[in-house]
Structures are given as structure tokens and as C-alpha cells.
Chain A
């Protein structure tokens, strides 16, 4: 089994809360490691040897309720292409950032009216006091419908942990955005 084959099948596993975006394009897969199972391991049940695949995935938000579902779907997908054993580990280093979301996934979000996140780098560079005192001074989120930057944040919390609620003064439509993190 090749790493390319594993990455390819992972591109068919989608985020249950944003079903047009794969776990790969979401940027939550940190590593794919493949080991051949030797004869000793085969005694333990992986008859005939084969490949042991380790996937390191990282949560978008640690409280995300879809994490376990994605974990089991990832394992099932990798087993479906012939892996003898799959170990999906949850790792926190480095922490996920919305900057990892792939361009194609951003387009897919926009197409369903979910605004992709603006760059999150400013926050991660903040020292402690800027974090605690200043309201994070991010650029406005572009409206996914008309592209206007004349938008306001109505609520930093939305229908899922990773979404916020906004209003566009350009086309007078409320919309959701994927949060910058």
C-alpha cells in the first residue's frame, strides 16, 4: 500500500457538518505512516501480513462532536482499500488553523453560502495582553453571496462550533461563516 493510495481514499471522507469538504482539504490530517506487518505481528491476527496504517488527525475545535464520527469513517475508508490494520490517532501538535483549509474547499463553502474564513495569522501572533484586552481586529468576512466586504458579525457563535453568524449590508442577507482560528 502506498501513502498516495491512502491520501486518495481520505479525499473521499467528508466532514459530516460540511459534507462537500474532505478531511484532507479541511487540513485535519497531519500524517500518514505505513508499516509492513511482519510475520510476528501476523500471528496476532493480521493473517498474511499486509500494511499497518497510522493516521494522525487533529481536531478543528476540541469540542467538535463530529470528531469520533470522522475518526471511524477514516478508519473504515483505509480498511476498505486493503489495510490490515488502521490506527487513527488524535494529536494536538501543531494545533489546527483555518489557514490550512484548501482553496478548493473554500470555493465549495462559498458555493453553498458558507463564507470561508479570513486569514487567522494575526491572532496567533498576539501576545497575551492583546489576546485578552483587544477585540480581535480581523478584517470583515466577505459575503459569500455578493462578495461585499461591508459585513458585520452578528454572533461569534453559530449552528456549529466552527461557524459564526454575519449580516451583509451590501445584499441585505444574513450568512454563516467558517470561523478563523
Chain B
């Protein structure tokens, strides 16, 4: 992302403002639902340390969601964060489908958390250079907090991936099942091109390429694999025949991404999740907490 002109909401074209709002909403919805799914381990973790770890990551993620919902409320004309989180039906959510899938077993939760955190660390890192200052500031803060998630998740994936056949196979099965939905994290939000042209965000396809490289390396260290291939890029200097990734090669996923979440097309799992998450607030929206 290179830009010289700060993005100013007051003078920006209306389509860019709408696109920015859609982008920030997706950030918020991803964080809140990932956090909510993690919170489902509170009291149920397979060992005490993991109960605490998933509960802590849930707390972080809900804090991150609050930052993004607050940004929409303060700058983009949205309702209060509570209203956004607890009074919106499934069709209004812009999260990737990955984070609405059921908690599953521990392997499923660990793999989802790992793929999600690597994606968000890369995304937040790039948004630090956003032409819209409030986005750059928030991303810089949240990026820092990803440190302990990455440390935790990657240590467990490496350890369990190489520990024995049972733990390896459980992680590999979870990976196979979740990988298409994880690719859906990089489904562009409505109007993304208008924002990339103004230097407000990095194209999702570019973030996905970095993510594929990071994921492939972690999996290689863990005895696991994902459908990622190295493909000779047009205009590259190699002939593409080698086994390794040459300087001119790019990484591609070889399965289709599970998309639709950024357009409000969700699985039934989201309805059930929102029923649980929103029921208390909706029972008395005027209550003071």
C-alpha cells in the first residue's frame, strides 16, 4: 500500500465511504464471532491451560470487535456497538463463514484459531499503513495483541502435529474441513477496489498470497499439509518446472474458497449462534448494565 494523500471522509466520494464502512464491518464481525466461538470453551477446555487460553483469546477478540464497532459508530454513522452486535439479523452480518462454523472439537478450534490469527495479523499489519488515519491507528494497536495468539497457536500446532498419529490426524482432518472457509476470509468486501485505489486498504488477494506462504511454512514445520501449490507467475524469470518456489512463483490454493459471508450469505449455523448470543440483550434492550 503506497499513498501520499490521506483519506478524508468529508471529501471522499460516497462510494468510497460506503466501501469503507463495509470493510470495517467485516473486520468487526469477524472478530466478534471468532471471539464468541472461542468463549464456548470457557469451563470446558480439555486442560486448564487451554480453557484459560481460549477464554483469553475470546476476551481479546471481543475487545477488538469493540474497537471496530466503535470506529463505525464514531466516524461512519453506525449505531452504538451494542446495537450493531446484538440487534442485527444474520443477513446483515459480513463475517467470513469460517467464524460462524460450530466450535467442533479441540482440533477444529485450534486450527480455525490458527488460520484466523495468521490472516488477521497480516491484515492488521498491512492496515497500519492505511491512508485513513483512524484505521491505521486501530490496526497498529490490535496487531500488537496478536503476538500471544500466534505464539500460543503455533506452538500447539507444531507440538500436536508432530506428536503422534492420533493428534496429527485430528489436526489434518480439521485443516481439510476448514481450509475452504479459511480462504473465505479473503473474500473482498463490497467496493474494495475503490478503497485499494485510494490506499485505504491492501487488496485481499495480496493479503491471501502472504497468508498462503505463512500457513504453508507453519504446516511444513508441523507435519501437516494444505492444498497450496506454487505456480509460475506470468512474467516470472523461472520456467516453473522446479519443485521449490522460485523467485517468479506465486502461491495458489488448489481448492475453491467457501465464500458468501461478505455478501451476507451465511450458513444456518449463524442463525443459531446469533440466537444464543443476542437473546439476553434482545430480552430487554433498554436495560442498564
Q: Which residues of A contact B (CB under 8 A)?
A: 59, 61-65, 92-93, 95-97, 123-124, 128-129, 131-133, 135-136, 154-159, 161, 164-165, 179, 181
Contacts and interface: CB of A to CB of B under 8 A. Distances in A.
Nearest to B149: A156
Nearest to B221: A133
B250 to A, nearest CB: 16
17 contacts: A62-B145, A63-B63, A92-B137, A92-B141, A93-B140, A95-B144, A129-B210, A131-B143, A132-B121, A132-B122, A132-B214, A133-B218, A135-B155, A156-B148, A156-B152, A157-B55, A157-B148
Contact of B67 (A92, A93, A156, A165): A92
Interface of B: 49, 52-53, 55-57, 59-64, 66-67, 118, 121-122, 125-126, 137-138, 140-148, 150-152, 154-155, 210, 213-214, 217-218
A95 B125 contact: no
B32 to A, nearest CB: 12
Contact of A157 (B52, B63, B143): B52
B53 A155 contact: yes
B206 to A, nearest CB: 12
B121 to A, nearest CB: 5
B240 to A, nearest CB: 23
Contacts of B146: 131
- Across the A-B interface, the 3 shortest Cβ-Cβ residue pairs: A63-B63, A62-B63, A157-B56
For A97, A131, A132, A136, which residue has the most chain B Cβ atoms within 10 angstroms?
A132
Contacts, number: 96
Contacts of B147: 123, 131, 136, 181
Given A133-B218, A135-B155, A156-B148, 4 more contacts: A123-B144, A128-B125, A131-B147, A135-B150
Contacts of A161: 56, 59-60
Nearest to A156: B148
A62 B141 CA distance: 8
Contacts of A156: 53, 148, 151-152
Contacts of A65: 59
A59 B66 CA distance: 13
Given A62-B64, A62-B67, A92-B67, A157 B152 contact: yes
A63 B67 CA distance: 9
A126 B62 CA distance: 25
B152 to A, nearest CB: 5
B121 A135 contact: no
Contacts of A63: 59-64, 66, 145
A123 B149 CA distance: 14
B118 A62 contact: no
